[in-house]
Structure 1
Amino acid sequence: MTTTVLSSLTVPWIPLPHRMDVVRAASVPDGYDATTAFVLAIDARGRTLLTRVDRHGRGWEVPGGHLDPGESVLDAAVRELAEEAGLLVRPEQVEFVGGQQITILDTPPADYAYPARAFMAFHVVRLDHRGLPTVPDPRSECTEAEWVDREEVGRRCGGAAWLPLHESLY
């Protein structure tokens, strides 16, 4: 699979001049360092598993988060899905589909915590059955998880940079 840019934008949560490209790709693009892993879990009814994070007004999102030191993007995706949504899957069920490619346009300050070329990796898990109710790990930042239809994903996560990637899976 070649890298296909689905959208280009800037986001308010990156405090430096930047460009974010949402891409379909077979792997992390050359020259970019993966910092996070997310999972778009889709059940046999076409519903997507969302999680709710109450702090900082974040609201509904897809499960995911930062890689632990030495952790692969695949291992992080499986771990985050279990922690944040309570859905246990095997690594072979998880497919890399692309992500958010972030390029900082100026030299970042010394205290900037991320690489100047960062990648937020996205994966898909397609269940061959109806997604059952799940419960986030009580130690996670998520307070609930819910399977929702495609239109509801757009309503709950309106403005999320990853929405074009989600739509490309249908």
Structure 2
Amino acid sequence: MTPTDVESGSGGTGLSAVRRVHFRDPDAPVATVVTPSVFVAVREEQGHLLLVRRRDSGAWELPGGRVDVGESAVEAAVRETAEEAGLRVRITGLVGLFSDPAHVVEAATGDEIRQQFVLCFHGWVVWGRPHPDGHETTDAAWFEPAVVEALTLEPGARRWIHHALAGASEPHLE
């Protein structure tokens, strides 16, 4: 798979810096750091899945991001969902641990090449209506699971979503 160039910091008006996502790309650079991140497969009463559209790439993904120093993975998952999608969620379980060393992200600043280390959680909406933050996300919406496959998804996110929707009794581990 080839790398995906995504704009960062310019809001879609012109390239100022580019974040490159490599997923199972034999020409990907070697990671210099492992970055713990969390993503949340949030569901609601009708079974719809919450997705956010990234400002930099225009692709859809689960809300999420890096775990900050001093917070737990669950706290980060709740915080990231509130920041990116405007929803308060309750974490209800673990979709899986995704640590494929062939999922590499080159930072837009060029000073970091990180291997993704993702904890993906199941979550349930507690309150709020989806809305983007206008900084990292340009849209936040509920989707019927059947239409998710047809969306342009962030590289790597398709696997997390697939496992989240699969209904497995045990979390995916890699």
The CA deviation string for residues 91-121 of structure 1, in whole angstroms up to 9 with x for no partner, is: xx442221322236xxxxxx75436xx5211
Sort the Cα spacing of 1:11 and 1:164 in 2 relative to 1 into closer, same or farther, 3 A: farther
Q: Is the 1:82–1:137 Cα contact (8 Å) retained in structure 2?
A: no
- Distance in structure 2 (CA, Å) of the matches to 1:163 and 1:136: 19
Q: Pick from 120, 129, 135: which aligns with 1:133?
A: 129
- Distance in structure 2 (CA, Å) of the matches to 1:61 and 1:152: 13
Q: Is the 1:53–1:141 Cα contact (8 Å) retained in structure 2?
A: yes
- Distance in structure 1 (CA, Å) of the matches to 2:76 and 2:164: 19
- For structure 1, the residue ranges without an aligned partner over 5 or more in a row are 1-9, 19-32, 105-110
- Distance in structure 1 (CA, Å) of the matches to 2:101 and 2:88: 33
Aligned equivalent of 1:5? none
- Distance in structure 2 (CA, Å) of the matches to 1:52 and 1:75: 22
Q: Which amino acid aligns with 2:96?
A: G
Sort the Cα spacing of 1:43 and 1:96 in 2 relative to 1 into closer, same or farther, 3 A: same
Q: How do 1:89-168 and structure 2 match up within 5 A?
A: 89-90=89-90, 93-103=91-101, 113-114=113-114, 118-127=116-125, 133-138=129-134, 140-157=135-152, 160-168=158-166
Sort the Cα spacing of 1:149 and 1:127 in 2 relative to 1 into closer, same or farther, 3 A: same
**SS across alignment from 2:159:** coil
- 1:34 to partner: Cα distance: 6.0
- Does 64-73 or 39-48 show the bigger shift? 64-73
Q: Is the 1:94–1:124 Cα contact (8 Å) retained in structure 2?
A: yes
TM-score (norm: length of structure 2): 0.63
Percent identity, aligned pairs only, is: 31
Sort the Cα spacing of 1:47 and 1:161 in 2 relative to 1 into closer, same or farther, 3 A: same
Q: Is the 1:85–1:136 Cα contact (8 Å) retained in structure 2?
A: yes
Q: Is the 1:38–1:120 Cα contact (8 Å) retained in structure 2?
A: yes
Q: Is the 2:62–2:161 Cα contact (8 Å) retained in structure 1?
A: no
Q: Is the 1:81–1:88 Cα contact (8 Å) retained in structure 2?
A: yes
Q: Is the 2:87–2:129 Cα contact (8 Å) retained in structure 1?
A: no
Q: Which amino acid aligns with 1:136?
A: P
Structure 1 runs (4+) deviating above 6 angstroms are: none
- Distance in structure 1 (CA, Å) of the matches to 2:166 and 2:86: 25
**SS across alignment from 2:41:** strand
- 1:134 to partner: Cα distance: 1.7
- Distance in structure 2 (CA, Å) of the matches to 1:113 and 1:61: 20
**Relative to total residues, which structure has the larger strand share, 1 or 2?**
2
**SS across alignment from 2:52:** strand
- Distance in structure 2 (CA, Å) of the matches to 1:132 and 1:157: 25
Give the alignment's Cα RMSD to 1 decimal: 2.9
